[in-house]
Amino acid sequence: MGHPGEVLAYIEDGPHGGETVAVAAEPDGSAPYEIELQDPVPPAELYVESSLRHSIPLVVSRYRLVREAQRERGGYVYMFVRDLDGAR
């Protein structure tokens, strides 16, 4: 498992699908209900420099706890949270 005070989160889908990350546990040691992970930053050449400024937006995706992982694996499984409008 992770370090004390951390739990392993297995990400099922979304921008971080297939990743395993260590996240801070709740004060009681349980897995958090939701976590947020910064999405990978796309290459700068995908953005056009405007006359005002050049900025690359930082996007954060939310993941929700869905179940405990298989016993031999330990940790918890999280799935990508999509907005109600279906955009994400």
Give per-residue pLDDT as tens, 52-69.
555 666 688 999 999 988
Question: pTM value?
Answer: 0.73
Tokens read off for 24: 């801070």
Q: 36-45 burial, b if ≥16 CB within 10 A, otherwise e?
A: ebeeeeeeee
CA dist 80 and 74 (Å) reads: 20
Question: Is the model's pLDDT at 15 over the cut of 80?
Answer: yes
Which of the pair, 78 or 87, is modelled with greater confidence? 78
Question: Is the model's pLDDT at 14 over the cut of 80?
Answer: yes
Tokens read off for 65: 């706890």
Local confidence band at 30 (pLDDT 50, 70, 90 cut-offs): very high
Tokens read off for 44: 């700068």
